[in-house]
Structure 1
């Protein structure tokens, strides 16, 4: 009797996982595969057991430099997977661009969330609500890195507000991975609204998608 293989489910070697988004590389172990994840600047001391990782792509050059310094091979393929969201969403049937009928959206980091009135998007909202609000905005500001990333993925200008509880490592990593060595950092919503806009990201979706570890889904 021949066993049937369910190709809809990933076939992982023992204890091998895909680590794909966020500042979570310090949580990876063994021969886990890294695709688009980054190093957490607050957890640099916890990177002692990453030498055997299988790295296909990382969020940005700061993560790559840190991994190389630890002896981990790391290709210069950059990008946060959230940048691919527009490529995964179904395009409008009539081909028209998304209407931007919201002047301003403020997206705080989870640890910075406070009541800021109607312009603030709660980062705990559903993914669908977050994407819809961000892509309908004329300007996005805030300390949420993925608020900035999703906005830029859809071509919406975004200004980072300095986080109160996060290390700047991950922000510098993302901007560096999208071709920008300098970027605006505001101290408040009002300051962000009046800041000079950043250059748009330089990003090759084909390179990141081409590095996706499809081999994990093959017997």
Structure 2
């Protein structure tokens, strides 16, 4: 059995943790049932992403993009649970099958336990913001540590786990913060952020997704997202978004901009002042954290599902 891994060209730690989380939860899975694909962490219940052929075992995946596959054929689909109640409803499943995002079980791994706190207050943007914005520079001005979601998954998770506060535009930034009991604040810079998947996870744990709005930080970011920058609205440019996808670990991406002189860099930073102010204000808001008992109950239900999979497949 091979875990499904949505390998985006830009990189995203929430998707990349599928590469090793399931080996911890279901050791030996890769040597059993080679005909079955394990569909786990991520917003991957999408006909454009999943292969059409072959049997699939679904543990905690979410819907949010594209078209939902028809999972009614039990000879091809073994759906044990999905990410939250909204995905369950969309898929025509009992609401209790919408348990929680499996990423919360990262906390059960020994290497992520007993980590010392760094005291950092950390901002983790959506990958599009990381690719097209100047958020590292903004974070320096507002007293936040910057964390790129395109980094190596385990390193990103350690930074989240050891922080004292997470300001998250990245959904899995909030999911992992909540799992490690790090208070978090949700923010959003554009309508391109998928609120369905956020609410699907939030409702599974009884928390609220009410993101603080922060303006995009550059014209390039506005073009890629279809957002406003200094009152000028931009239509989402698919070519710009595609260009971002191709730049996996680069720094700030400047789309069709002239060579950056010192004066131009200073001008860009000045133009990003509304973004900096909004991010600073958001970081001062009251953070959230799901109830200890709610999280523990969801994890227990998910672990029971995984134990059932272990009995049936291994």
Band the TM-score falls in, shorter-chain normalisation: 0.7 to 0.9
1:75 Cα offset (Å)? 4.7
**Residue in structure 1 matched with residue 212 of structure 2 by the alignment:** 186
Following the alignment from structure 1 to structure 2, what is the Cα–Cα distance between the partners of residues 175 and 8? 30
Contact persistence 2:45–2:69 (CA under 8 A): no
Higher gyration radius (CA): 2
Contact 2:117 2:162 in 1 (8 A): yes
Structure 2 match to 1:3: none
Tell me how far apart the structure 1 counterparts of residues 172 and 102 of structure 2 sit (CA, whole Å).
Answer: 10
Q: Note closer, same or farther for the CA distance 1:154–1:121 as it changes in structure 2 (3 Å cut).
A: same
Structure 2 residue 81 is matched with structure 1 residue 57? yes
- Within the alignment, does 1:157 sit opposite 2:183 as a pair? yes
Partner residue in 1 for 2:108: 87
- Please give the alpha-carbon distance, in whole angstroms, between the structure 1 residues aligned to 2:117 and 2:112: 16
TM-score (normalised: structure 2): 0.58
CA offset at residue 57 of structure 1? 1.3
- Residues 46-77 of structure 1: CA distance to partner in whole angstroms, max 9, x if unpaired? 22533323211111100001001xxx567535
Deviations, residues 92-143 of structure 1 (Å, cap 9, x unaligned)? 6xxxx54322331111111221332252111111122111211111110121
For residues 111-126 of structure 1, the aligned pairs below 5 Å read 111-113=128-130, 114-117=133-136, 119-126=145-152
Q: 1:199: how far off?
A: 4.0
Question: Higher helix share goes to which structure?
Answer: 2
Does residue 173 of the first structure (1) align with residue 200 of the second (2)?
yes
The CA distance in 1 between the partners of 2:209 and 2:197, in whole Å, is 13
Instruction: Give 1:18's match in structure 2, choosing from 34, 38, 44.
Output: 38
Return the alpha-carbon distance in structure 1 between the equivalents of residues 107 and 301 of structure 2: 16
Task: Give the alignment partner of residue 108 of structure 1, picking from 125, 139, 143.
Answer: 125
Whole-Å separation in 2 of the counterparts to 1:192 and 1:21:
28
Question: Residue 173 of structure 2 is aligned with which of 147, 152, 155?
Answer: 147
* Paired residues, number: 200
Q: Which runs of 4+ in 1 moved over 6 A?
A: none
Unaligned runs of 5+ in 2: 1-27, 215-278
Q: Is the 8 A contact 2:100 2:201 kept in 1?
A: yes
SS at match of 2:302: helix
Q: Partner of 2:160 in structure 1?
A: 134
* Cα distance per residue 1:168-187 (max 9 Å; x no partner): 0000001001123x344111
Tell me if the contact between 1:55 and 1:74 (Cα under 8 Å) persists in the aligned partners: no
| Residue of structure 2 in register with 1:198 after alignment | 288
